[in-house]
Amino acid sequence: MLVEAEIWTIARNDQGNAVLVRPLGSDTAVPIFIGQLEAQSILIGMGNVPMPRPLTHDLFLNLFKKLKAEVDRIEITSLKEGTFFSRIIINYAGGKHVIDARPSDSLGIATRCKCPIFIDETIVDEAGIMLSTITEKKLPSREEVLESELQLLQKELEKAVEMENYEEAARLRDLIKRLEEGFNKEK
């Protein structure tokens, strides 16, 4: 059975980035490990950071809008052999349509269109961890995660300049600026 959920936070550890999805009102969250770029995209969506050009998730939402389709909800539906599966449910042409997607992409879209997020209770039972065990380890706040992402992007920018890859350096500089502006608006 699916239950409504939310993105509780995004954390980074030695294993990588994890988005923690928590059923509403629950003291349990499900860590879903995702890549750095996916984590950045979700953070950009959560922070409503304006981008000069559409990112992939923005592109999909623009496409849906042009087709007069709307995202109804996203569902994290199963966990098989350590891999999470999700789907995006859209309303289009008078009916509901299901699109298979990675959870990171589904969550990136959900942060932008503010649609409901659902997760299957069996996933929570199988992979959920108690929030009390997480908070005992001093899980970083969203602001700390964003600050950490900014530091990583700054290092990537320095490396791009050192390698004389000025196009990439300009892209990273602009992304850092937008993230900082969005971060400062939240404060």
Same domain, 80 and 155: no
> Does residue 11 have a pLDDT over 90?
no
Q: What is the mean pLDDT of residues 66-74?
A: 96
Specify the CATH number for the domain of residue 47: 3.10.690.10
Q: How far is CA 55 from CA 20, 37, 45, 62, in A?
A: 22, 11, 10, 10
> Does residue 54 have a pLDDT over 50?
yes
Q: What is the mean pLDDT of residues 5-15?
A: 85
Same domain, 104 and 157: no
What tokens appear for 127 in the block?
């992979």
| pLDDT for the residue numbered 153 | 80
**Cα separation, 146 vs 151, whole angstroms:** 9
- pLDDT tens digit sequence for 71-105: 999 999 999 999 999 999 999 999 999 999 999 99
Show the CA angle centred on residue 58, arms to residues 56 and 63, nearest 5°.
Answer: 95
Same domain, 119 and 77: yes
pTM across the whole model: 0.74
Of 139, 159, 175, which residue sits at a domain end? Answer: 139
Same domain, 66 and 17: yes
